[in-house]
Structure 1
Amino acid sequence: MSAALEVPVIECVGDSFAIGYQHGERLAARLRAFLADGLGRLDRLLPAPVTPSGLAPATIAYRRAVSAALPDLAAEVEGLAAGAGITSEQAWLLQIRREIMGYQRVPTSGDCTTYARLGSGAHPTVLAQTVDLNGDLDDQIAVLRISRQDSPRTVLLLSFGGLLGYLGVNSDGLAIGLNLVLGGDWRPGVPPYLAIRHLLDTCATAARAVEMLRTIPLASSRSLTLADPVDSYCVEAIESSIHLVAQGDSVHTNHFLHPDLVARDELNVFARNASIRRHTACTSTLAALPSTAGVPAHFDLLCQPPIRVPDHGDIRRERTVAAVVLTPADRRLHLRPGDPAHTETLAFQL
């Protein structure tokens, strides 16, 4: 195992604009270079190159939708732009990259594998997942510690390429992970990454976060796994309709599990078969994992094939660019950045 990759840790304190400004200022050079690389590498991921002017209508539509639903996060995007020395449009582009990519039908062997296991006694609840992304985003990882001046709640967040939200845990012990699922109409609304950040900002429990999620006009389909020290929920979202898949222990990959949504699954056959294999492997391996297993054992699980997806040398294909083990009871985020089979564990705590 090699040494851990360097991961910036950014302390963000104050009002929404200030939090965004500190994030952008710390990563200014990296974000500008990322945008200069084919608009955040979109040119290498999409069938045809894109331009800022061509993306302007979508950027405006998403900005309006987020500003109406989550004005605090809209203000944070503006702070990100000011701090990084980029335009407002570029800062919004960083938030909606995945929405712009839409349904990716490139045959692939991976996207995220996520599971939750409720604890008992001295053995705490665990929410763990691989992070499988295309675009070679290992170099865009950052960890944010966020303290809003109007709230006693703090948030520990894993971010990629200037995203205000991705996955994480808050000081109440609410942890949230996610999986891509493909279905329904993707449309201007709140990107699920920003919705996750809003839930971490505002909710103390997994149950409350599920209730709050039902009020957010989501832009695209996702599965979320939400856990606190005593409870856990796995839900699937499609066109802002939230379907409960499981309460308690759960495993999710990238195909719909709720019976009402199976027929609406748009995952291509290659990706679906890979998703089923990962789901089966994770379910069986987790069942054999002792309840006394610690964080290293959970990383060992996440590094097993086919759960861990290696680099095939194609930037368009998803691969495992990080693995995370969240422990809500002690508000810790354990991270292996890059290929988790070859990097050491970093631990962050609120």
Structure 2
Amino acid sequence: MSERTKEMHKDRSRKSFPFYRFCGTHRQIGQQFGEACSELIRKHRDYAVERLNGKFQVSSRRLQEAVLKYRPFVQKYAPGFDDEVQGIAEGAGITLEDAYLLQLRAEINHYCRSNTECTTFAILAEATSNGIPLIGQNCDLPAFYSDLGVVVEYVPDEGPACLMLTPAGQVSYIGINDLGMGTFANFLTCEGWKPGFPRYMLSRLALTKGTVEEGIDLVRHVERASSRNLIMLDKYGGAADLENTPTRDALIRPENGLLAHSNHYTADSLLEEERLHGVELENSRIRLKRMEELLRENHGRLNALAMQEILRDRGSYPHCLCQIHGDEKVQSPGDKGADIITFASVIAEPSEGSLWVAIGPPNQYEYKRYSFSGI
């Protein structure tokens, strides 16, 4: 470690996201989540409503009607998730509609929000220094999400346990399961959004399986509400990126043991679906190119520690992998107050049951290792 790196390391905060372990039935897990994080969940609810009303006025009744249109799809494909949302409402003392709003932020805000979200990667064992495959991402959202993030270990009575980073009150975001599989995700923009299975829940839905191919098959058979990019890795050497729209999808496989993605369609069959444009499309393309370059340059030397430095990279300023306060050029024209930053950074070793998480921006914070309680 160079002297300069040591000095930078010394200046970083060791503050970390709070960690919780919830177990039992899905209803009990939700109730525990709601009770333990009630203050953060209500704050998340208030932020979501304030952000929505800042773009256009929506009556409470209309908002309630809108969010509940998605519930039948959750009940159909993942009834346990619906049980958890009900439990969160009970535990946090909020309405069921408010609890569902937290699962549907992207769908409800689709036409009024900034889409510069997230750079993901997956690395097979052949490209690492220690034979341990890696997956993860920098998570780019409005800055207040740095205050809302939690690391949660879900241990349901039935099915695999999951270890996830998620905003308080969301039953799903990004993470790994105890079967050795990891699923991370990016925002994609296309037409045809409609009531259906919420995009944020797709990650944890895939994590009900133990292999990438099983996860892909499951996601493909869900009536999806919106577009989402899922990048997946399992302990058996499987890895894939699944770009999708509500009705179509395309698979991207690793090249030389490496995969990366940002926020635009890259599969030839889906290029016509792209609706990102202007500075946001430029930002996404530059971030993807930078990530691919850094992964290739470090092929064979990649591990959790090396990825920490890559995810702190700002070499492609102003369209950086690590986005900080003041990177105004990544905002949408007229989107005042969006304040998009890298609110969290996550590196996972699914085969080891390890999740390395830093509050964002990661160039200002140290990573902390989390693992399953039984490991």
TM-score of the aligned structures, taking structure 1 as reference length:
0.93
> Paired residue for 2:218?
212
Q: Distance in 2 between matches of 1:335 and 1:244?
A: 27
Counterparts of 1:31 and 1:270 in 2: how far apart (Å)?
32
SS of the aligned residue for 1:163 comes to coil
Deviation, structure 1 residue 135: 5.5
Note the alpha carbon deviations across 1:96-141, whole angstroms, 9 max, x for none. Answer: 11111114465x7x42111111013832111121000126211110
Label 1:43 to 1:137 Cα distance change in 2 as closer, same or farther (>3 A).
Answer: farther
Measured after TM superposition, the shift of residue 257 of structure 1 is 0.5
CA change 1:226–1:38 in 2 (3 A) is closer
TM-superposed CA distance for 1:14, in Å, is 0.7
Local SS of the residue matching 2:183: strand
Match of 2:325, SS state, is: coil
Superposition pairs for residues 195-344 of structure 1, below 5 Å? Answer: 195-200=202-207, 202-229=208-235, 230-247=237-254, 248-305=257-314, 306-312=320-326, 315-344=337-366
* 1:74 equivalent in structure 2: 82
Q: Give the 3-state SS of the residue equivalent to 2:91 in structure 1.
A: helix
SS at match of 1:177: strand
User: CA 1:105 to 1:199, structure 2 compared with 1: closer, same or farther past 3 Å?
Assistant: closer
Q: Say whether residues 1:122 and 2:144 are aligned partners.
A: no
Percent sequence identity over aligned pairs: 26
Residue 133 to residue 38, structure 1, CA distance change in 2 (3 Å): closer
> CA offsets, 1:186-228, max 9 Å, x none?
111111211211221x200111111111111111101110001
2: CA distance, partners of 1:301 / 1:57? 43
Structure 2, gaps ≥5 residues long: 1-10, 315-319, 329-335
Asked if 2 retains the 8 angstrom alpha-carbon contact of 1:311 and 1:320, the reply is no
**1:35 Cα deviation after fit:** 2.3
- Deviation of the 1:50 alpha carbon: 3.2
**TM-score of the two chains, using structure 2 as the length reference:** 0.87
- 1:152-171 pair list within 5 angstroms: 153-171=160-178
Letter in 2 for 1:59: V
Q: Which residue of 1 aligns with 2:142?
A: 134
SS in 1 for 2:244: strand
Q: For the Cα contact (< 8 Å) 2:249–2:270, is it kept in 1?
A: no
Q: Which runs of 5+ in 1 are unaligned?
A: none
Say if 2:34 is the partner of 1:24.
Answer: yes
Q: 1:40-189, aligned counterparts within 5 Å?
A: 41-44=51-54, 47-104=55-112, 106=114, 110-120=116-126, 122-134=130-142, 136-151=144-159, 153-189=160-196
Measured at CA, do residues 128 and 38 of structure 1 come closer, stay the same or move farther in structure 2, by a change above 3 Å? closer
